[in-house]
């Protein structure tokens, strides 16, 4: 699949079939996350970690503490930042900001990979971090930043509106339009 096609046609999928996602596909999605950029290549020290949730009973409990989690998702991957390691290796800014950005980078890669494999996925931030940490036994210094739900799509949502490039793009100076009419 062409990169542009993947970017353009990916949608947040919130309805899934019950069909389980094969091990090999999960592995590919995780690899896509692993290969995402990270500040100073910080991931090298294990500052970005993934927790895969496959167990149906655990998924059910996660759903109860995650108002934004699609109801039928058979599987989820939590992109977590290991803030302790980030601080030890790169300091406060890395702990408080860069690790979170690194997780977002990994999530976008995983969304695109899932889409290219014929799967549906959705980023979810609406979950109780405290509860998720307890359920998944995530240590104090590790933060679940984003959840990605994954499964075979059972819906084909229309693309949501996206703001016109002209309205958000400037040239050389903020406010000077890059795209001028006429």
Ligand X SMILES: Cc1cc2nc3c(=O)[nH]c(=O)nc-3n(C[C@H](O)[C@H](O)[C@H](O)COP(=O)(O)O)c2cc1C
66 CB-contact burial (10 Å; exposed 0-12 / middle 13-18 / buried 19+): buried
Residues 132-171 that bind ligand X (CB under 6 A): 160
Gap between the Cα atoms of 101 and 166, Å rounded: 26
Q: Looking at 122, 138, 148, 150, which residue binds ligand X (CB under 6 A)?
A: 122
Q: Binding to ligand X by residue 12, rule CB under 6 A?
A: yes
Q: Binding to ligand X by residue 68, rule CB under 6 A?
A: yes
Q: Binding to ligand X by residue 124, rule CB under 6 A?
A: yes
- Interface size with ligand X, residues (CB under 6 A): 10
Q: Looking at 23, 126, 167, 181, which residue binds ligand X (CB under 6 A)?
A: 126
SS3 16: strand
- Nearer to ligand X among residue 89 and residue 133 (C-beta): 133
Q: Minimum distance from CB of 165 to ligand X (Å)?
A: 15
Gap between the Cα atoms of 129 and 77, Å rounded: 14
DSSP 74-88: SEEEEEEEEHHHHHH
Closest C-alpha to 13, from 85, 84, 93, 118 = 118
- Nearer to ligand X among residue 7 and residue 56 (C-beta): 7
Site residues, ligand X (CB under 6 A) = 11-12, 14, 68, 122-126, 160
């Amino acid at each position: 699949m062409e990169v542009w096609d993947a970017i353009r046609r990916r949608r947040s999928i919130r309805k899934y079939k019950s069909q389980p996602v094969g091990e090999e596909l999960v592995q590919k999605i995780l690899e896509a996350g692993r290969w995402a950029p990270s500040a100073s290549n910080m991931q090298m020290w294990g500052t970005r970690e993934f927790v895969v949730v496959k167990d149906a009973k655990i998924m059910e409990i996660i759903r109860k503490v995650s108002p934004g989690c699609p109801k039928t998702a058979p599987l989820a991957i939590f992109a977590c930042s290991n803030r302790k390691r980030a601080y030890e290796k790169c300091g406060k800014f890395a702990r408080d900001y860069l690790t979170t950005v690194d997780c977002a980078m990994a999530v976008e890669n995983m969304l695109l990979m899932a889409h290219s494999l014929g799967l549906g996925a959705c980023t979810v931030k609406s979950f109780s971090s405290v509860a998720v940490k307890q359920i998944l036994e995530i240590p104090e210094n590790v933060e679940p930043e984003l959840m990605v739900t994954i499964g075979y799509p059972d819906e084909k949502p229309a693309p949501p509106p996206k703001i016109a490039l002209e309205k958000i793009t400037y040239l050389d100076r903020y406010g000077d339009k890059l795209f001028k009419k006429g």
